[in-house]
Amino acid sequence: MNEIIFLGFFTEIWTDFNLVLKIFVLLTIASYVRNHIGNNTMGLIIIGFLAVFILGDFWAFFGGIYVLYMLLMFGVSGILVDFFFISSGGPAGGGEEMNSPISAGTDLISKRMNHPPRRPGM
């Protein structure tokens, strides 16, 4: 009996979390539309269409794409790129010393600082 109550508790939390996520997504997109299109008729039509799209039955399709997009925007893609860059052994296939992708341009920067470009006519 306790397992059923426990399972019911988590399904209620999931539905509440899903509603909060839908409202957050709708407010985020509405803010974006108002900032970029304005509060005119076209902006209100787009916000209304997206409200029906998000709060309706299309959330099963749109929600996963939006959450994935937000994860990528918050930097999860950078972590994945770093992971695959290091695990593949770098551009040379692992035979050389592995460097961070962020520090790859430091040699070029130091060369430019030590040898300024020539000016025409000198």
Domain range list for the chain: 1-60, 75-116
pLDDT at 42: 92
How confident is the model over 57-80, as a mean pLDDT?
Answer: 77
Which residue did the predictor score with more confidence, 95 or 82? 82
Residue 102 has pLDDT above 60, yes or no: no
pLDDT at 95: 45
Q: Is the model's pTM score more than 0.95?
A: no
Which residue did the predictor score with more confidence, 70 or 1? 70
Q: Is the separation of the CB atoms in 29 and 8 below 8 Å?
A: no
Residue 105 has pLDDT above 70, yes or no: no
pLDDT at 41: 92
Question: What tokens were used for 22?
Answer: 């839908």
CA 51 to chain centre: 21
